[in-house]
Amino acid sequence: MSRQKIGLLFGSFNPIHTGHLILAEHMATRTDLDAVWLVVSPQSPFKVGEDLLPEADRYALVEAAIAGNDRLRVLDVEFGLPKPNFTIHTLDVLAKQYPSYEFVVLMGGDNLPGLPRWKDANRILTEYALYVYPRPGSPAPADVPTAVTIVEAPLLDISATFIRASVRSGKSIRYLVPAAVEEIIRNNRYWQQSQ
């Protein structure tokens, strides 16, 4: 029997939004992946100094967003790892922890140009396949490494930045995030005070 193939979507999820969810569901149902795991990063090396909610709060939002979807799972594996969170470290931990699974790294097209600056980028590209979901404003480069597959999928012009800005200015985020996420954001007044 072939090994379970799991897509890993690493992100700050500040907050999780419909773009992440459509990406994850698309990968889990329209590629050869069996499931997608969303890995909440406490501190992306490229987002040091940004206005991040505490990681436990971002995790709770992801948990609420994916409730009831058996193909999706959220991981807090990076919470106990040194910061900033280098993806290669997490991949090494997961490979050891789940030797019977084959992991694929998922990302949006905006992350592809910066990939050569990731820690041990060459090792990631040698040891893992990468499936890239296209993102508005980030056209696929003409030349991609052989490990990279650009997946054909509907473009989603949604970002966590837009959602935080909407909340701050009192605009609706209905449908941009699941109802359960919207409720948690409202009840906790995230981004309405000085966060």
Residues that bind ligand NCN (CB under 6 A): 10-12, 41, 44-47, 85-88, 111, 118-119
Question: Of 149 and 183, which CB lies nearer to ligand NCN in the complex structure?
Answer: 149
What's the rounded Cα separation, in Å, for the pair 7 and 120?
Answer: 19
Q: Whole-number minimum distance, CB 12 to ligand NCN, in Å? A: 4
Which one, of 132, 137, 107, 103, lies nearest residue 46 by Cα? 107
Single residue of 86, 131, 133, 190 touching ligand ATP by CB under 6 A: 133
Residue 42 C-beta: closest distance to ligand NCN, Å: 9
> Measuring CA to CA, which residue among 22, 26, 27 is closest to residue 8?
27
| 14 is an interface residue for ligand ATP by CB under 6 A | yes
- Smallest gap from residue 2 Cβ to ligand ATP (A): 26
The one among 6, 91, 105, 156 contacting ligand ATP by CB under 6 A:
156
Q: By CB under 6 A, which span of 8-16, 74-82, 119-127, 170-178 interacts with ligand ATP?
A: 8-16
Quote the distance between the C-alpha of residue 75 and its chain's center.
11
Specify the stretch interacting with ligand ATP by CB under 6 A; choose among 5-13, 25-33, 81-89, 174-182.
5-13
Rounded CA separation 38/12 (Å): 10
- Paired strand residues for 143: none
Q: What is the C-alpha separation between 45 and 8, in angstroms, rounded?
A: 18
What angle separates helix 18-30 from helix 55-66, to the nearest 10 degrees? 50
Q: Are 47 and 19 in contact (CB under 8 A)?
A: no
Q: Applying CB under 6 A, does 20 fall inside the site for ligand ATP?
A: yes
Q: What value, to the nearest 5°, has the Cα angle with vertex 58 and ends 133 and 176?
A: 55
Residues 87-116 that bind ligand ATP (CB under 6 A): 107-108, 110-111
Angle at 141 between CA 78 and CA 19, to 5 degrees: 50
Q: Which of 6, 7, 13, 21 binds ligand ATP (CB under 6 A)?
A: 13
Residue 23 binds: one of ligand ATP, ligand NCN, none (C-beta under 5 to 8 A by kind): ligand ATP
Residues that bind ligand ATP (CB under 6 A): 9, 11-14, 19-20, 23, 107-108, 110-111, 133, 135, 156, 158-161
